Structure formats: C-alpha cells, structure tokens
Chains A and B, each alone.
Chain A
Amino acid sequence: MHDTSAQAVQHHAPTSFIRKHVFSLDHKVIGKQYYALALAAALIGMVLSWIMRIHLGWTNAAIPGLQTLSPNGAPGGVLTPEYYLQLMTMHGTIMVFFVLTTAPFAAFGNYFLPIQVGAEDMPFPRFNMMSFWVTFVAFFVLVSSFFLGDGPTLGGWTQYAPLNAIGSSTGPGQGLGVVLWMTSIALFCIGQLLGSLNFITTTLDLRVRGMSLMRLPLSAWAWFITSCMGLTAFSVLMPACILVILDHVAGTSFFVASGLVLNDQVVPHSGGSTLLWQHLFWFFGHPEVYIAIVPGIGIVSHILIANMRKQMLSQRVLIYCMGALAVLSYMVYGHHMFVSGMNPISALAFSFPTLVITIPATITVLIWVFSLYGSRLRINSASLFALGFISMFVSGGVSGFFLAQPSIDIMLHATTFVVGHFHMVMGVAAMFGIFAGTYFWFPKMSGRMMNETLGKVHFWLSFVGTYCIFMPFHYLGLVGNIRRYATFADDFLQPLIPVHRLITIAALITGAAQLVFVYNLIHSRFWGKPAPDNPWEATSLEWSTATPPPWDNFGGKHPVVYHDPYQYGVQSSVGDYVMQASPEQVKTDHEEK
C-alpha cells in the first residue's frame, strides 16, 4: 500500500452486514445514508406542504386521516389554526435542515468529494459515521414532536423570541415542542460540524499527486467552501439553541424581557433580550441559505460543463464568486431584521452588502449563460435540471433586489413575496441542483442508469409546475398578502383566495410529479440498465474508477492527476475529452492553469 495512504486508510474492507450498510465507515455508504434521510425528509416535508396548501385554499377541507395523527390539531380532519402553524413550522424546519443542507452537501459531498480529490476515504471516518448518525437522531427527535399531546412547536422555522422561550402559555407546542426542536437542531449542528471537519481536511490534505487546488472540480470547491461556511454558522446556532433550552428548563432569562403578561399572569422571566435571538439566528440563518445553494452552484457547473463539452469561460472566476458569496453571506444577515426594531442605521449598513452580493451572483449567471455560447450542449435529464437551476436562480435572485432595500422591505416584509423569493432559490433551484446531481451521479453510485424518459417527464412537470406555484406568490405579496396566516380572514385578502386555490392545484400536480422521480429511483436501482464506468464521457476522477467504486475508491491503485478538471474540446484517443487521471498529452484550445 502506498505510504501516502497510511493516513487515509483507517479501516479495512467491511465484512459484516452491519459494518457494510449500517454503521459504516465508508464515506460512500454514509453519503447514500444521508441521501436516503434527505429523501425521506423531503417526502414528509412535501406532504406537509400539500396539507398546508389545501387548507389555505379551502379552510374547512377535511384531510382524511389527519385526525388520527392529531385529534386536537385536526378534529374531523379539519386543521385548527395552531395545527396549521405547527405543520408549517415542521415543513420549514425539515426542508431547510434535513433536505437542503443534507442532500447537496452531506449526501453528494460525502460520496464524491473524496473520490474527486483522489482519496480512499475521508481522514476521520469514525467522525464521519458519527456525523450521519447524530443527524439521524436529530431528525428522529424533531419528528417525535409530532406525537406530543399538544403537538410540535408552532413558531416557524425561525423560532423568534420570546415566543420560543416563554413556554406553553404562549400556545400549543410551545413547551416541550420547542425543547425538542432546539435539541434536534443543536444535534444537527454537531452532526454538520463533524461533517465540515472531514470535508475541509479531505480537500486540503488528501489530494492525490497532481491534484493542486486549482485542478479540483467545481463541485469539490463548492463542497469545500460550503463546509467552511457551515463551520462558522452551525457553531453559532448551537449555543443559541442551548440558551433557549435553558430558558425553558432552567429558569434563566436570556431572551425573555421583563413585565410580559400572558393569560393575565406576569411571566416569571425578566431582563432578556428579544433581538439577541434574531441576531444569533440570522448570523447562522443567512449563511445557511448559501450553504443550501452553493453546492448546487458547484454541482450544476460540473454537470453543465460535461454536457456542454466545453469549459466555463473562467473556472477561476466561478471559484472566486462562490468564495465571495460565502464571505458576504456573513455581512448581510440583518436584512432579515430591517423592521425588527434594530437601529435603523444598521439597516442601511446591512442593505449595502446585500445589494453588493448581487454582483458575484450575477457574474456566476453570466458565466454560465455565456459559456453556453459556442458549446455542443447535450440535453438529458441532468442537463435539463442544471439549466432549470439557472432559470430559477435568476428568478429567485431578482426578487432579492427588492428585499435588499429597507424602504421597499417596509411593504414586502412578512408578505408572501418573501415566501416566493426563498422558495424559488431554495425550494426550487437548490432542489433542481439535487435532482441534477442525482440524474448525473446515480449511474456511478448504483451501477445502473436511470430512465431518461421518466427523468424528462419529471423535469417538465417540475419546471413548469414550480413556476406556476411560486411566481404568483410574488404578486400576492406585492398587494399585501401576509405570510404565516392559517386562514385569510381579512377583507383585503378575500379576492386573493382564488389565486391560492390555483397555486394549490399546481402544488398537488407538481408534488405528484415528484413521485415519478421516486419511482424512477427505486425502479432503476434494481432494474435499470447496467451503467458503464463513464456514461457521460466526463473527465473528473469519479469517472476514472469502477461503477460503482470499490470500497477504497480506486482499487488499491492511486490515481495521478495530469490535467485540469475539464479538458473538453480536445482530440484524444477516447474522444473530445481527456480524463484528469489520463497521462495522455493532448492539444487543447484553452490554456491549462
């Protein structure tokens, strides 16, 4: 065994079932476990959104079976306002944490980062395994709150103080429901920190010979940058959650001010700071949404290049843009707090970096779009979702122009305009990134091809469907439709209900389309056409190993990297590309860096 592998190979090939599939140290198994967790979470989150949407369109609709899950929350299957808020909270929490952080970063990153740098595994496989199981327990803790007597917390995924800290007198689910939420998220943070540890050390220390930093594929860069963000963000959210738990169980008063009265009783806590929670939460919360999108940016770039048969106009600029997004993401968080009561001058101070962050985002989009010029674009499920990502990223990003300005935010804060904005960038674009990654990498992970026809059906229904769902949210917000309302009781909201019904119908159809995807995944896993080692004629290291890769990724041999990651448009012995690990010298149009 080569000496440089001594550090990486912490384990031998597993033999027992438990070691192979359950408590596995293999980053590939861990990646698949994360993917399965994200998939389960996404399905639960999606069903929650269906229930929410049906209720918003038809307030008195009875949802069959819901009364079994919660006789108090949905008597006769009709949602009470509190139960709507509880489902909404769980929808947001599950989607943001257990889908959008888990799939693009933890699932694909764990599987492919070590392979893309040429390593046999991550340097700390035991911590890696722990990171998955801690995340799994976190999910379990969160979902268990559904089964509490008064249900899960209703305070939204943002859990503002003092609603999050006072206790059950503020509403159903606000006692133990909040404690479980905070515990779950604190555990999630720990899991992700352990993951970031492995990602960073893998990228910096385990690159194989010839793999300089600039030769890393864009997806690897994206995972590396994301893990740096996670390191900074999750380590701030976790202490905040701990302080809230203490306010609940230990009688402290970090977040609850004095003299508050609920149900005619003065609340015993005193002296706490309401805004402190918002600062701590959004310091995490804004980078979190970039954690959700940056892996998608890397994955989409990676997939587009392979399908354009051409490099991006500048790989280096894309890397700098991802880095700029990461750095700026810490300076903008106050744009969630413009009307929060914080110093209005701070609002201006946060507004400018928020406007400036448009620039790297724009450069990224321009590079993608103008790299298409002169390419030989292949259309398949993966590339369609990648192209769809670009369209969605533009749509979602453009509504950010409005929200970045405090004066306009006066009219748009807490309206469905915000909901439309973040669903387009996260709920759609980031999801498209996950889908693109799945269609692209499924052959490598499972050894079988996915069904292309079903993939295209999935794409078209999802692309058109999500536009039909989320574009109208912006118009509704412009006219003043407030968010987080369980029912539309105000006079000025009545004329908007027909629009909500159309949205609901679009949501249900789009949701059904996702079942096509799930069917495709499962069917292809067992009965898909066997996949060759390099079905896309791609160049990065994951395609130079077997399909699926052996337990130590490269079968005992260490690749040596001779080329930049995206040598397409060349004439080589295999076609119009040369693989990174191939020693073949070729003539290229573009300068290798």
Chain B
Amino acid sequence: MGKFFAITILVIAILSAIPIVMHTWEAPTDISTHGHLIDEQMSETMAEAGISFLAAQFLLAFFVWQFSNRGTETKLKSFPGGAKALVIAALLVVGVEVLALGVFGVKAWADVYLTPPSADAMPIQVQAGQFAFYFRYPGPDGKFGPLHPERINEGSQEFFGLDKEHDVDSRDDIVTAEMAVPVNKEIHLLMHAKDVGHSFFVRELRVQQDFVPGLDVSLHFTATKVGRYEIVCTQLCGLGHYNMRAYLDVLSNDDFNEWMKKETAMQ
C-alpha cells in the first residue's frame, strides 16, 4: 500500500500542476499601469511555489515507495548530511528564495500604495454602503462639498447627504451609479464608507482596497484600455454582499466628456 500511496501523490501533484501550466484559469487582461509588476511577481511566485510543491511531493512519494514495508531484517540508514544539511539547504534555498520574492515585490506594492497621486490626477469619490457603490465627481469647481450623514435618504436618491442649498461646493457635484473615467488619465479615488466595512476590487485594474468606516482612504490608478469592467465588493458587509457591484467604464476622452455632460444634466 505504500507504493500505492506514492503513486497517488504523484498523480495528484501532476494533476494539480496541469491547470497552472495550461493557464486554464488566470486573472483577466491587465488594464493598469502598475499591474505588470504584480503579474510578474505572480509568475515568479508561481514558478517557485510550483517547483517547491512538486519537489516536496515527489520526494515524499519517492521515499515512501522505497522504504515502506521493508522486512524487519533490512538495515536502517540515515540520510547523509543529516539534519544539518537540511537546515542549511532550507536556509539557503528557501530562505533566499522567499526573501528575494519579498524584496522584489516591494516595488509592485510601493507603486500602488507608497507613491502619492500626481497633482493633476482626477479626483473621484466612491461611497460604499449596504449594498451599492455610488460615485461623486467634484464638478467644474474641482471641489467636493461636505457630507452630512443625517441628510442621507436613499428613497429620495440623496446618497451622499449633500446640502446643495447651504454648501456652495456641493452645488456642482455630480453623483452617479457608475464610475466612468477617461482612458490613460490618472484617477485619485477617495473612498468613503457609509455604514460598515466594504472593499473595492477591480480585477483588471489590479487594485483592491478596503473601505474603513471612520477613515477616509484613497487609491490612485490609471486605466489603459477602453472597456466596461466590474467593481465588486470583497469585504463581508451583510446579506447583500454577493450582489454589491458597480461598473467601471473606461472611455475615450470624447466619450467621457459626453458622459459627463449627460450625467450633469441628470443631477
């Protein structure tokens, strides 16, 4: 039965590797400027993880095949080098490997999170609340009016709690249910949580960030391909979590201006 175990492990290991090698399921096309760093990091890690996985399973299978159910008269042997060799191998091979991954991965992370948005990035505010995303553009004055939580009223479509009467800056703010951005334009996304924790994830854009109630966090990104992409909520926020989504429309400059005119008219 030891040999059967060895074969089973081998089969499982190889079958597990097949979908990866065949690229059966992969992240969709990258439409961001920083995403290639993440994708490269992912490939590197996949290669190293894959090799480690296969090597460990093969060794386990091999030794179980060789040394199971041997007669009681067979002599015991000890792996030459003993534990010391293994510790050194682990430190050198795995230690260096994972630290290299860590070090090289810093740039991908820093590009997204440790660089400030450029001065001419377009600010858009996104508010996440049970169970929808709403977006706000600052309008021609470039300023967002203040939020008044007590004025929020979903029934009358006052999603942000703006007071257009008393707050001058709010008057030209544009509230939408979809986020449109011009292609190749850096966006500065200001994230506001209305009620509980949510998260913003666009696979193609290679961004994911939690909304933190009480803390206004922000992201910046640049979309490089025109298209319609899904924004999904990835932090458990209640019964409608599975259904909480919005759409990101990456448009050409002209189309974006058209869209903006239409949305302004609908306010």
Contacts and interface: CB of A to CB of B under 8 A. Distances in A.
A274 interface: yes
A446 interface: no
Contact of B83 (A317, A365, A478): A317
A456 to B, nearest CB: 7
Contacts of B78: 313, 373-374, 589
Contacts of A355: 98-99, 101-102
B210 A479 contact: no
A410 B208 contact: yes
A502 B161 CA distance: 46
Given A310-B76, A366-B90, A407-B112, 17 more contacts: A85-B241, A155-B236, A160-B236, A163-B237, A172-B239, A313-B78, A348-B106, A358-B95, A372-B63, A372-B64, A401-B48, A402-B42, A414-B208, A414-B234, A482-B201, A488-B242, A576-B72
A65 interface: no
A404 B215 CA distance: 25
Interface in B191-234: 193-197, 199, 201, 203, 206-215, 217, 230, 232, 234
B208 A313 contact: no
Contact of B240 (A81, A348, A484): A81
A405 B41 contact: yes
Nearest to A400: B49
Nearest to A155: B236
B56 A365 contact: yes
Contacts of A262: 130, 195
A85 to B, nearest CB: 6
A398 B208 contact: no
A61 to B, nearest CB: 16
B68 interface: yes
Contacts of B77: 373-374
Contacts of B1: 379, 384, 456
Interface stretch (A30-38, A244-252, A489-497): A489-497
Contacts of A341: 209-212, 215, 217
A487 interface: yes
12 contacts: A154-B238, A162-B195, A273-B214, A308-B67, A314-B82, A339-B209, A341-B212, A352-B102, A398-B53, A413-B208, A456-B1, A492-B28
Nearest to A158: B236
Contacts of B59: 369-370
Interface residues of B, number: 105
A264 B113 contact: no
B11 to A, nearest CB: 9
B89 interface: yes
Contacts of A491: 230
B244 to A, nearest CB: 10
B251 to A, nearest CB: 20
B76 A407 contact: no
B8 interface: yes
A260 B194 contact: yes
A377 B69 contact: yes
A387 B38 contact: no
B142 interface: no
When A and B form their complex, which 5 residue pairs have the shortest distance between CB atoms, in order from nearest?
A257-B214, A374-B77, A314-B83, A407-B108, A344-B113
Interface in B31-58: 37-38, 41-42, 45-46, 48-49, 52-53, 56-57
B242 A376 contact: no
B235 A414 contact: yes
B12 interface: yes
A514 interface: no
B214 A272 contact: yes
Contacts of B45: 401-402, 405, 408
A265 to B, nearest CB: 9
Interface stretch (A94-102, A192-200, A463-471): A463-471
B152 interface: yes
Contact of A482 (B70, B87, B232): B232
Contacts of A413: 208, 234
Interface of A: 80-82, 85, 154-156, 160-163, 166, 170-172, 256-262, 264, 266-267, 272-275, 308-310, 312-314, 317, 339-341, 344-345, 347-348, 351-352, 355-356, 358-359, 362-363, 365-367, 369-379, 384, 387, 390-391, 394-395, 398-399, 401-402, 404-408, 410-411, 413-415, 456, 460, 463-464, 467, 471, 475-476, 478-480, 482, 484-492, 569, 576, 589
A335 to B, nearest CB: 12
Given A156-B236, A344-B113, A411 B206 contact: yes
Nearest to B20: A475
Nearest to A499: B25
Nearest to B98: A355
A387 B64 contact: yes
Nearest to A257: B214
B51 to A, nearest CB: 10
Contact of B242 (A81, A312, A347, A463): A81
A365 to B, nearest CB: 6
Contact of B87 (A317, A398, A487): A317
B266 interface: no
Contact of A367 (B25, B68, B83): B83
Given A85-B236, A160-B235, A378-B69, A475 B24 contact: yes
A170 B238 contact: yes
A351 B102 contact: yes
A350 to B, nearest CB: 11
Given A310-B76, A410-B206, A356 B98 contact: yes
Contacts of A377: 2, 64, 67-70
A246 to B, nearest CB: 18
